[in-house]
Structure 1
Amino acid sequence: MEKVLLVSPERCIACGSCELACSFCKEGEFRPAVSRIAVHRFEKGQNIPMTCFQCEDAACLKVCKTGALYRDADGVVQVDREKCIGCRMCVMACPFGNILYHREVKRVLKCDQCGGDPQCVAFCPTKAIEYLPAETANLNRKRNFAAKMAQALEEVKD
């Protein structure tokens, strides 16, 4: 069963736990700059954790000329470190900016969902990031959207 990361920005308190958990799990150091997830902090209280969306029609896959990017059996886009030459075409192709280039090792970094046990989810204290079956995540998105629309309609009525 395909699972996806579902982010609820309204729950995010920008504590950075997800970034630290990811960087430590993947690189062995507490350094958000090498994390595969980044919390974008906008106005006070508007924080959005961003990571790879595992796009169905992934532009990064299309531009990778060495075949270093591939989709595994679970549908997760992975990076083959042996094939990656650090050309950064995938970085430029990602419309969301969720693939990073690691200058020290000259390769790209992107979320691989920690092999089915995403550490960003495990360490998020407010459950702003969840790892759910794709069907459940889609249903939750629809419910959230409907609730926001209902709230907006109430505000218009007043």
Structure 2
Amino acid sequence: MAKVLMLNPEKCISCRTCELACSFKHDKEFRPSAARVNVVQFEKEGISVPLMCLQCDTAACEKVCPTGALKRNIATGALEVDDNKCIRCKMCIQACPFGNASYDSVKNRVLRCDLCGGDPQCARFCPGGAITYVEATAGALAKKRAYAAKFKEVLQEVSK
């Protein structure tokens, strides 16, 4: 059965360990700006939310890529960037409705969550349990949708 990353913002302690684990996994250096996960803090609301690619079933980023550099990994379900095909046009970054892809100007590449090949380090090292990697059961997917709806409400309040 497939697995999904689950986010539980109420458990996020804003430690940013997920960012460090991610950057170290991919680049062997602790550089949060190179992480595929970013913790967004809403100070007024008193919450922090770790954000990364949601691995959309119908992904806008994949559709706009002019070179086909974004492909779904059959084993993990993650949309991965083929750096050899990517021309760094950044259309995928613009197309993401959630802003969960970025560009690393230091290493000249697009950054997006690749689920660490099926062993997401953000989930493995999250001390508060705000990020977990679980079986994609109907219950887990319903919970994921509920958190997404709640996050959408917070974003709407913040943007007012």
- Cα deviation 1:60-110 (Å, max 9, x = unaligned): 000001111011213210111111111100000001111111112221010
| Distance in 1, Cα, partners of 2:143 & 2:56 | 18
Residues in 2 aligned to 1:80 and 1:139: alpha-carbon distance in whole angstroms: 31
What amino acid is aligned across from residue 63 of structure 1 in structure 2?
V
Partner of 2:43: 43
Q: Which one has a bigger Cα radius of gyration? A: 1
Assess if the C-alpha contact under 8 Å between 2:90 and 2:103 holds in 1. Answer: yes
Structure 1 unaligned spans of 5+: 149-158
SS in 2 for 1:23: helix
Superposition RMSD on alpha carbons, in Å? 1.9
Deviation by residue 1:11-70 (Cα, 9 ceiling, x = unmatched) = 001001000000111111111100000000112630000000000110000000111101
TM-score, normalisation: structure 1: 0.86
Q: Do the aligned residues in 2 keep the contact of 1:85 with 1:106 (CA within 8 Å)?
A: no
Instruction: Tell me how far apart the structure 2 counterparts of residues 106 and 134 of structure 1 sit (CA, whole Å).
Output: 33
Return closer, same or farther for 1:144/1:101 CA change in 2, 3 Å cut-off: closer
- The TM-score normalised by the length of structure 2 is 0.85
Find the counterpart in structure 1 of residue 158 from structure 2: none
SS state at 2:20 partner: helix
Partner residue in 2 for 1:64: 65
CA distance 1:68–1:14, change in 2 (3 Å): same
Asked whether the equivalents of residues 8 and 147 of structure 2 are also in contact (C-alpha less than 8 Å), the reply is no
1:30 aligns with 2:30: yes
Supply the distance in 1 between the matched residues of 2:37 and 2:7 (Cα, whole angstroms): 11
Aligned CA distance change for structure 1 residues 16 and 77 (closer, same or farther; 3 Å)? same
